[in-house]
Amino acid sequence: MTEAAPVVQSVLETRFPGVVTPDERKGYEGYIVTKEKLVELATALRDEMGYDFLSSVTAVDYLSEEETNLEVVYHLYKSTGGGSLVLSVQLPRDNPVVDSLVSVYPGADFQEREAYDLMGIRFDKHPDLRRILMWEGFEGHPLRKDWKEAYHNEDTKPFSNRWPDGQIFRSEDKNPYGKNNIYPVGFDPTKWEATEESLLYAGLGKAVGEKGNIETDYLVVNMGPQHPSTHGVFRMAVVLDGETIIALKPVVGYLHRNHEKIGERNTYLHNMPFTDRLDYISSLSNNFGYALAVEKLMGKKGAPSERAEYIRVIMAELTRISNHVWAIGFLLNDLGAFFTPALYAIEERELILDIFEATTGSRMMCNYFRFGGVARDFPEGVLQKIRDLVFERLPRKIDDIDAYLTDNEIVLTRTQGVGILTPEDAIAYSATGPMLRASGVPYDIRRADPYGIYDRFDFDVAVRYHGDCYDRFIIRLDEIRQSIRILEQALDQIPEGSVISGSNPYQVRVPAGESYGRVEGPKGELGFYIVSNGKPHPWRYHVRAPSFINLTAMEKMCIGQKIADVVVILGSIDIVLGETDR
């Protein structure tokens, strides 16, 4: 929630009279900004008031009988810590145009493209405003409330044709292949040519060129979508001068399923298992972020019980360890150390997943958090298993991995000085998580803006200062060690008691308002922006996906590097496509 000090408020109101007005809707704590002065205001906030970190840009469609506005919502933070400043710009539905903030915060790039793609908001002066998740010939903007998909059943779940009028049918029978898509008028998919590609290369701007006296062409290389190092279906269009990269554009969206639209049809509880499927390597961390956002809206009623708070921390930190060993293992895979380091890393992850399976019922799709607590207590013996791991095995094994890899000359030569991201750039590009901290910015949400009970634990914010791939690798080992420290304290302090406050109803009541719950996920800042209108379903449900936004800095890190290093740089960001594409 907004913690804008009165100072900021008075400065905003005196410096920008008539531009900034406090948002007076119930449950909202931000400011409404007129669109003409947005860039000027953002510049002043960044340079004079320290709000240098743009966490999230998204849009909300307030379509109702009284209102037809579209609203763009910005969440700003200080990179030195503290709460958020929420700005929103209201735009008319028929002509939603607002100035782009890319010139002030380059990290807005992909997020504005996403808002354009899914909500149809046009950002003036954006350097490369194209669709990002949907394909170029797509009809409409799917997150608008008046857009309906081909499989549309009812606006909200539960669907009445399941119960009380239960009649079994298969969706495929109602939507046979070939008729399950809506095309623009006059569009013939058999004659479609990929204009998207020419737009992409135009965006790269340097597809063909001349260099000095020698007549030479730049070369465009498409890496992916099936390249094994991309860890999923992800593509990079790279422009090369010889072996050196001069431009790069990530192409995402192959795994897009409109998670947010699904989320707006679901009830609040329904969304919990869907969040597992975002970053499927660290599902408990996703659960945490979503539970936090909804509990913020619920207020006192949503406050988790004491034991549940500890269980949440234990689970989230175990998730971080399992994610980081996985990331390290596969970074080495990308370096060409085929699968031995990866399998050593997976050993430890397996043992953690055994704990998840015994507690939550599933190894990866845990679906464990509930509003006000967690689903069930640890079964007998599991807590002892966690203690064995945390106090005995993991510290030893992490040292093993350390001894195995960190001094290895091949790792050193391949990663040191490769893909450098300076601290200024890291903040400007909205990089978060290990990527930001490896660049020398000691920003960890667990410390900078604590949630849950993280303020009770003694741990250091891991930070490294070179901002290269080696530091991004080594910082993950540092973070695992800090997680083990947190776990040791949590396991010592965990109290007895109920694991959920309240009765765990299947229909939660969420008062109207907006909330932004963010956690320090293993990959970076994972945020859930929720707008409630008091109904059983969220009106707007937005995921600030760290894998997606960390990719914004990909081009910056790659320019000037060799093509062979792209794979390592990508591996060091640690993306998961389930979250990138949503």
Which residue ranges make up the site for other proteins (CB under 8 A)?
Answer: 153, 157-159, 161-164, 166-168, 170, 266, 269-274, 340, 343-344, 347, 350-351, 354, 357-362, 365, 367, 375-376, 379-380, 385, 388-389, 392-393, 400, 403-412, 504, 506-507
Q: What are phi and psi of 479, to 5 degrees?
A: -65, -35
Min dist. Cβ of residue 159 to other proteins (A): 5
Nearest CB to other proteins, comparing residues 332 and 421: 332
Nearest CB to other proteins, comparing residues 160 and 216: 160
Nearest CB to other proteins, comparing residues 159 and 192: 159
Neighbour count for residue 90 (Cβ, 10 Å):
17
Min dist. Cβ of residue 358 to other proteins (A): 4
Nearest CB to other proteins, comparing residues 128 and 354: 354
Min dist. Cβ of residue 37 to other proteins (A): 43
Min dist. Cβ of residue 396 to other proteins (A): 10
Q: Tokens 């905003």 belong to which residue?
A: 12
Nearest CB to other proteins, comparing residues 202 and 410: 410
Nearest CB to other proteins, comparing residues 155 and 392: 392
**Side chain identity at residue 402, one-letter code:** D
Min dist. Cβ of residue 158 to other proteins (A): 5
Min dist. Cβ of residue 417 to other proteins (A): 17
Nearest CB to other proteins, comparing residues 173 and 455: 173
- The 3-state secondary structure of 425-448 reads HHHHCCCCCHHHHHCCCCCCHHHH
Q: Tokens 């709000």 belong to which residue?
A: 51
Q: Which residues contact 547 (CB under 8 A, 6 or more apart)?
A: 279, 523, 524, 573, 574, 575, 576, 577, 579, 580
Min dist. Cβ of residue 295 to other proteins (A): 19
Angle between helices 340-360 and 306-334 (to 10 degrees): 160
Nearest CB to other proteins, comparing residues 272 and 427: 272
Neighbour count for residue 494 (Cβ, 10 Å):
18
Strand partners, 515: 530
Neighbour count for residue 503 (Cβ, 10 Å):
6
Take residue 446 and report the two structure tokens written for it.
């667990």
Nearest CB to other proteins, comparing residues 169 and 458: 169
Min dist. Cβ of residue 314 to other proteins (A): 16
> 334-341 contacts: CB < 8 A, separation 24 or more?
334/229, 334/567, 334/568, 334/570, 334/571, 335/410, 335/411, 335/414, 335/415, 335/568, 335/571, 337/410, 341/401, 341/404, 341/405
Nearest CB to other proteins, comparing residues 67 and 399: 399
In the chain, what's the furthest Cα-to-Cα distance?
77
Take residue 523 and report the two structure tokens written for it.
């990959």
The CA-to-CA distance between both ends of the chain, in Å, stands at 25
Min dist. Cβ of residue 449 to other proteins (A): 30
C-alpha–C-alpha distance, residues 32 and 20, integer Å: 6
User: Can you say how many angstroms the Cα of residue 202 is from the centroid of all Cα atoms in its chain?
Assistant: 28
Min dist. Cβ of residue 331 to other proteins (A): 15
Q: Which of 582, 573, 543 is nearest to 555 (CA)?
A: 573
User: Can you say how many angstroms the Cα of residue 317 is from the centroid of all Cα atoms in its chain?
Assistant: 18
